[in-house]
Amino acid sequence: MEWFMSWSGILTISLERLAPFANDPVRSYTDPSDIAAMQAALAEVDDEFGKHYPLIIDGERVDCAKKIPSTDPSAPERIVGHVASASLPQAVRAIERAYERFAAWKSVPAAERAGYLLSAAELVRRRRFRFNALMVREVGKTWVEADADTAEAIDFLEFYAREALRYAEAQPVTPVAGEVNELRYIPLGVGLSIPPWNFPFAIMAGMTSAAIAAGNTVILKPSSDAPVIAAWFVDLLHEVGLPNGVVNFVPGSAAEIGNAMVSHPLVRFISFTGSKSVGLHINELAAKPVPGQRWIKRVVAEMGGKDAIVVAADADIDAAVEGVAVSAFGFQGQKCSACSRAIVEASIYDDFVEKLRARVAKITVGDPTNGAFHMGPVINERALKDHLRYVEIGSREGRLLHGGKRVGERGYFLEPTVIVDVPPHAVIAQEEIFGPVLAVIKARDYDHAIEIANDTEFGLTGSVYTRDERKIERARDEFFVGNLYFNRKSTGALVGGHPFGGFNMSGTDSKAGGRDYLLLFLQAKSISRKLTP
């Protein structure tokens, strides 16, 4: 403990003395020692099933009569953990304590705040397999998908620590004769972090750590489908010495506490990742000032997509098929960046469809505690029923090529599903399904393909497979998405390399993992002093 507690002091250093940021490698589980470590971690997590996780308000652990049961989607009768569900008075108390703690935390030097993040990153590395195992159980991630999630959490901690130091440096301003001028970035205040269940570690840790690195205090309200991993992370932050009240763990329902917390006058900003409907509702609530409120609330929202991969006639078809399959069915299609539309030029359409059919047939579905399976369950029964409803609709709109059925009866497993010959304005070509259901659309030519790709209300990720530099240049200008890729999958954005966030109804273009992101949790103060003669 002393080693971790001492990190904040050791790391009171300049940005130049830190090693340049580099992404943490993702394990492929081909090394027998990694396999053994993962199997041992799964057994450890299983031994902790049913454990109780209280609220954490200003460092105090607070019990509640009401609990959120976090279940294993592979076997819903298994309770991963019982998590306290906050009442409205408890949620309000957390906001008030966070507001009080902000007075001191905002003055903590950036180097010290960065030290807590770097300490946390190191401790996550040491417990990597335990976090991976928990995600396999709590949200049904496969081993590789879970490790990628943990690696991204580490990346966010490392990257935002460095960003806090960068924003704390002297900022360039134009010299003015007879004056000394400076621009400082200062924190906003109390923030509400509302992360999703699909990246239960990376996004949760990323939005929380960015806010505190900038000098804000946070109320963390995790998804009810993934609250245990958030509890683990808050415990880890306190273990490395983060002061009480800087991050408060307050799970609960939107109806009971969520809306009231968004509207509370002491909340300065809301960071949200989730559905379009909820994001728009939060934005609407936050826009209405209430008595006692002194600011216009800031909303940082990422709200999903209807992402397309365009396959041009000159593309490497085998590479495109692989990219589409991995993008559509990685983590059961439950990524906002997942490919849900493959738009293929007519001249290669039939060849592409046949090769896609063969590739998808190789995908295996089953309990992800067995590392051999490529796909696990969808998150819950409601999602499974919703996906099956879309399969039924899509089968009428197009032609079911593969899948479409539930696998087994115990968990929430669904076959990887491909529906071809889908019209561009069909329901399954326009609405976000957020599951393993892919629509394949035939385009007359490249112009038509780009037109179809842009013809949704979303604008998050997209990919184009082509060898033609002119087509690449056109897509750079015309394909309207926040994250555009060429000749690679539409998923797997890396912190630092692919700042992430989209246009239109995909959100506020937050660019998480980029140089602009921390600025969303800061405000600029211009200071000028006239020189006396």
Known catalytic residues?
302, 336
Strands 67-72 and 75-84: antiparallel
For residue 93, give Cα distances in angstroms to 8, 58, 210, 262, 513: 28, 9, 23, 14, 31
Say how far apart CA 6 and CA 139 lie, in whole Å.
34
Strands 179-187 and 217-220: unpaired
329 three-state secondary structure: helix
Alpha helices per DSSP H over 48-142: 88-105, 110-126, 128-139
What is the number of residues in the chain? 533
HSE value, Cβ hemisphere, 13 Å, CA-based, for 224: 15
What phi, psi does 73 have (nearest 5°)?
Answer: -65, -15
| Cβ 217 vs Cβ 191: under 8 Å | yes
| Cα 106 to the center of its chain, rounded Å | 26
Dihedral angle at the C-alpha atoms of 254, 66, 68, 381, nearest 10 degrees? -80
HSE value, Cβ hemisphere, 13 Å, CA-based, for 245: 17
What phi, psi does 251 have (nearest 5°)?
Answer: -70, 160
Say how far apart CA 200 and CA 222 lie, in whole Å.
8
CA neighbor of 227 nearest in space, from 122, 135, 152: 135
Say how far apart CA 490 and CA 324 lie, in whole Å.
8
Say how far apart CA 152 and CA 144 lie, in whole Å.
12
Say how far apart CA 198 and CA 220 lie, in whole Å.
16
For residue 200, give Cα distances in angstroms to 39, 167, 225, 450: 21, 27, 9, 33
252: left (phi over 0), alpha (psi -120 to 50) or beta: left
| Cβ 324 vs Cβ 308: under 8 Å | no
Say how far apart CA 497 and CA 45 lie, in whole Å.
33
